[in-house]
Copies of this chain bind each other. A is one copy, B any other.
């Protein structure tokens, strides 16, 4: 018998991956969660039937969402991760010895529990004494902080279900206030090839709060089309310039990759800055 997991990436396009074992599946209060064993990617976490992370290619996403903003800041000490319940982003954040405190605010405690059980290479970072896992709504969490964090990382699912509010103008306005005067934030902002409506919308919402807003790219093989975007909003520092050395042992990130990730093909540049009048940005 063959068992295949299939994700509808966009209407009319599917990716299918052979599953050697269904390790776990449940319906949490927030979403459908599954942990699959696959031959191609090792263990794979899916939420609402969408691939979130796999053992084989998670390094790309987690290194790029963490080390780009961390390396653009001269001395990041307090970091907030919103989402990221698998622990992979926290693992990368804590590679920086100067980070003294890393809050991870995940709305779904089952993502944390199942990742701890099945993805120890990611989740064991959550045991670090500098890390603190908070099961709460990140949207509310940021409202309670002022001038506190050096870096906020929005490691969210796609903008459906519980993550919708993480793509709003109000949320980024709250993130701005939770950051110190020289802080910055970064969010995963979907595919610039397929999500040509969403990418400029999120970019515009971050730009509405931050004086410096830049898009950068990484290639995550299990995400639709491979090419993936991240958007950085910064109060002071240029996110495209690494000012500190990279930690040892990375597989995707390097200072040269950092700079190159901000070089956008003309078609991607056009997605975020279409010719003609600047669009009105809604909530």
**Given A225-B221, A225-B226, A226-B225, A40:B13 Cβ within 8 A:** yes
Q: A13-B18, A251-B267 are in contact. List 20 more A-B contacts (CB 8 A).
A: A4-B14, A10-B40, A13-B15, A13-B17, A14-B17, A59-B267, A60-B265, A219-B219, A219-B227, A221-B227, A225-B226, A226-B226, A250-B266, A251-B265, A251-B266, A252-B266, A252-B267, A259-B263, A260-B260, A260-B263
The smallest C-beta distance from A272 to any residue of chain B, in angstroms, reads: 14
Say yes or no: is A197 at the interface (Cβ < 8 Å to chain B). Answer: no
Chain A 1-22 per-residue mask, 1 if CB under 8 angstroms from chain B, else 0: 0001010001111111110000
Shortest distance from the beta carbon of A230 to any chain B beta carbon, whole Å = 15
Q: List 11 A-B contacts (CB under 8 A).
A: A12-B39, A14-B16, A217-B219, A219-B225, A219-B226, A221-B224, A251-B265, A252-B266, A253-B265, A254-B265, A260-B260
Q: With the chains together, A226 CA to B221 CA distance in Å?
A: 6
Partner of A39, one of B11, B15, B221: B11
**Smallest Cβ distance from A228 to chain B, in angstroms?**
9
A56 CB, min distance to chain B CBs, angstroms: 9
Contact A40 B12 (CB under 8 A): yes
- Give the complex CA separation of A269 and B82 in angstroms: 32
CB distance from A196 to the nearest CB of B (A): 11
Within the complex, the shortest CB–CB distance from A54 to chain B, in Å, comes to 11
Q: Residues of B contacting A194 with CB < 8 Å?
A: 221
Q: Flag if B12 contacts A193 (CB, 8 Å).
A: no
A267 partner residues in chain B, CB cutoff 8 A: 59, 251-252
Query: How many residues on chain A are close to B (CB under 8 Å)?
Result: 40
Q: Are A263 and B256 in contact (CB under 8 A)?
A: yes
Nearest B residue to A40, CB-CB? B12
Provide the bound-state CA to CA distance between A263 and B257, in Å: 6
Considering the complex, give the chain B residue whose CB is closest to the CB of A246: B266
The 10 closest A-B pairs by CB, nearest first: A226-B226, A221-B225, A12-B18, A260-B260, A260-B263, A14-B16, A251-B267, A252-B265, A219-B227, A12-B40
CA distance A32 to B249 in the complex (A): 45
Which of A12, A193, A265, A266 has the most CB atoms of chain B within a 10 A radius of its CB? A265
